[in-house]
Chain A
Amino acid sequence: MKKVLFRPSKLKIFLLLFSLLTLPQFYAQDNEPEVEDGPKTIEAVPDADPVKGKELFNSLCAACHKPYRKAVGPALHGITERRDLDWIQKWTINSRELIDSGDSQAVAIYEEYNRQAMPAFPQLSNEDVNDIVAYVEQPKPEPSGGKKDDSEDREIAGGGGVSTDVILGILAFVFLMLLVILFLVNKTLRRFAEANNVELYKKKEKSKPIWVAFAENQFLVLVSVVVVLLMVAYGGYGYLMQVGVDQGYEPIQPIHYSHKIHAGENEIECKYCHSSARKSKHSGIPSLNVCMNCHKQINEVAEETGNDEYSKEFYDNEIQKLYEATGWDPDTQSYTGETKPVKWVRIHNLPDYAYFNHAQHVTVGQIECQTCHGPVEEMEILYQYSPLTMGWCINCHRETEVKMADNPYYEKIHEELSKKYGVDKLTAAEMGGLECGKCHY
């Protein structure tokens, strides 16, 4: 019977060994050397340098061509099978000349692409063209491995070796085991006690119930009533004050547009898309042609844009939604004319009786967008950051100094107002920013 007591410690040793044995495996993956495929030599251009070709391709050709997909111009992969090298060189350096000389292939492709000539590249030498050919003839890279490997790689890369998830998992397992052990020990001891006729719990004597004792103490009752009333008043006040305030409102939009990717990771200016914030009352919901400025070319997200929460497939699908809405056909690189306007959900909305003008704040006041809208560049899903209450507006007007330096428009009023208030710098409030009629009329 005694031996039973030792069972838990054996289990513990087993667990320790188990975790020790599994841990190195996570580290081991880190050390495995990655097999890097170097660029392959292309038969048609054996001496060309595809690395240099990639650089040239990306800076000169990629505006219209993609290696494996049709863009403005045709896909270039497999060009050496369709044309001979001499033709490619002549065409690339000056396509116009080749068309005018009546070359049948050149005229055919010119007609096929609606007589849209490819610009000349006199800065390229024949060797440069060979380099570019060597780059576009590289076999299409396979999508990197299975999904599982990817996520493990990322986990190892972050969190200093082993992912916190794995550690937490092991800890949870250990705790679970300990619980089981405790339960088993407890059960065994109880059985011992029963066998030895030891009484485990003594029955308590009946005393006065605590609430009766409480009710009899008048002072305690009074104090607790006051405390409860204060708490109710505080809670009630807070509760009523948030009625009609949409702070934190985070609706699901018809297209999952991530401000984090666009404004954060890619550092695109807010005003690039919200251009009317510069000169109109409204910041404007960007029309879809603005999206297509970039997404004509970007039809899928990069491998590393996908994350644990939203996969690459998810984002790619959202770009497809944009194409559906604009009627863009990526295969023919043209608009079909069938559009489906996107029904974006408006988040920031002031009541009708309050007037707010974006241009006044953004262009004249030079206020950063983030002052009111919060860290938009970190928001995967946009939410309302500020309460947009009157108290919040007033507070900012009281604290914000008007930038008057080098602005002759303000010279006279600045002089007069600083004399009136006896201050050096003027806040928006002192400029009349608290007048009722400024916002309510």
Chain B
Amino acid sequence: MKRYSSLIYVLILSFILTSCFDKRKPNYQYFPDMYEPVSYETYGEYDIFPNAQQALEPVKESISRGWLPYDYEDNAEGYDLAKADLTNPLPYTEENYNKGREMYDIYCATCHGGNGNGKGYLVEREKILGVPSYDDIGRAITEGSVYHVMYHGINTMGSYASQMSNEELWQVTHYVMTLKDLLEDKEQKEFVEDVENPVVR
């Protein structure tokens, strides 16, 4: 037995050395003076906040810079009003169209499909059902209704206002209306020459 004892010691020692890193815990640090931030860090946990939660909603009644309020309410009347009155304040430039397509492919295409026929990848896999095509005559979408639905959500579709800015939502609206035209075999609109985007609500 004595012959093996040294071998066992070596094995135990190497096991201890290699098993220092527990993947469920962060590694230990050496003199972490400037590792840990002095200021409050994003998503940090600090006693000063309610529930020690740094991630808070913005102060009530405050708005971020450049943001303008959206007047149409999140109900059936608001939807009807937006559908009838609201139009896209952004010019139909190629840049807005491209940006809209980029956003559409990230946020919308997974359900609504790359060409807006309501047959996205998640619909094909039967994860999400009941996604209408953009040329659905019962819905007859307009720029205003598209924006309103993205802003507030409708039925089981959620709001996308937290993921995109107002400007980006309008850019997506341009792209969605183009897809609708294509689905209805209409010609695509002509691009407007480069014009500055106004601040949008």
Interface residues of chain A, those whose CB is within 8 Å of chain B, are: 58-65, 71-72, 115-117, 119-123, 235, 239, 242-246, 248-252, 266-269, 271-272, 275, 282, 285, 287, 289-290, 292-294, 296-298, 302, 341, 344, 346, 349, 351-353, 383
How many angstroms between the C-alpha atoms of A23 and B32 in the bound complex?
Answer: 61
Contact B42 A249 (CB under 8 A): no
Chain A hits for B159, CB < 8 A: 289
Q: Known contacts A243-B28, A272-B106: does B131 contact A296 (CB below 8 Å)?
A: no
Determine which of B24, B28, B110, B156 lies in contact with A251 in the assembled complex, contact meaning CB atoms within 8 Å.
B24
Q: Is the interface of A mostly helix, strand, loop or mixed?
A: loop
Given contacts A246-B27, A294-B158, 4 further A-B contacts (CB under 8 A): A122-B137, A123-B137, A290-B162, A298-B127
In whole angstroms, how far apart are the Cα atoms of A72 and B156 in the complex? 7
Chain A hits for B5, CB < 8 A: none
Interface contact B29-A248, CB-CB below 8 Å:
no
The one of A58, A282, A290, A349 in contact with B163, judged by C-beta atoms closer than 8 angstroms, is A290
Q: With A243-B27, A245-B27 given, is the CB distance from A60 to B157 under 8 Å?
A: no
Asked whether A59 lies within 8 Å of B132 as measured between CB atoms, the reply is yes
Which residue in chain A gives the minimum CB-CB distance to B128?
A297
Could you tell me the distance between the alpha carbons of A243 and B26 in the complex, rounded to whole angstroms?
A: 10
Cβ contacts under 8 Å, A243 to chain B: 27-30
Instruction: Report B-chain residues with C-beta under 8 Å of the C-beta of A246.
Output: 26-27
Contact between B106 and A269, CB atoms less than 8 A apart: yes
Tell whether, in the assembled complex, residue A353 and residue B34 are in contact, meaning their CB atoms are under 8 Å apart.
yes
The residues of A that contact B196 with a CB separation of less than 8 Å are none
Instruction: Find out whether the CB atom of B110 lies under 8 angstroms from the CB atom of A267.
Output: yes
- Chain A nearest CB from B21 CB (Å) reads 7
B132 near A63 with CB under 8 A, answer: yes
**In the complex the two chains form, is A123's CB within 8 Å of B156's CB?**
no
Chain A residues within an 8 Å CB radius of B136: 123
CB–CB B129/A268 < 8 A: no
Name the A residues within 8 Å of B122 (CB-CB).
266, 268, 294
Size bracket of the B interface = 35 or more
A272 near B162 with CB under 8 A, answer no
Nearest chain-B residue to A66 (Cβ)? Answer: B129
Q: Which of A267, A293, A351 contacts B157 (CB 8 A)?
A: A293
How far is A148 from B139 in the complex, measured between Cα atoms in Å?
47
Q: Known: A58-B129, A64-B156. Is A244-B32 also a contact (CB below 8 A)?
A: yes
Across-interface contacts of B25 in A (CB, < 8 A) = 249, 251
**Contact between chains at B110 and A269 (CB < 8 Å):** yes
**Are A289 and B162 in touch, CB under 8 angstroms?**
yes
Report yes or no: B30 in contact with A298, Cβ–Cβ below 8 A: no
Chain A contacts for B37, CB-based, 8 A? 352
Kindly supply a per-residue 1/0 record for chain B positions 130-148, scoring 1 wherever the CB is within 8 Å of any chain A CB and 0 otherwise. Answer: 1111001111000000000
Q: Is B9 an interface residue (CB 8 A)?
A: no
Chain A residues with CB under 8 Å of B156's CB are 63-64, 71-72, 296-297
Cβ-based interface call for B193 (8 A): no
- Is B107 an interface residue, CB under 8 A from the partner? yes
Contact of A120 among B24, B127, B129, B138 (CB under 8 A): B138
Q: List 21 A-B contacts (CB under 8 A).
A: A59-B132, A60-B132, A61-B130, A63-B130, A63-B157, A243-B28, A243-B29, A249-B25, A251-B24, A266-B122, A268-B122, A269-B105, A269-B107, A272-B110, A275-B106, A290-B163, A294-B128, A294-B158, A351-B32, A351-B34, A352-B38
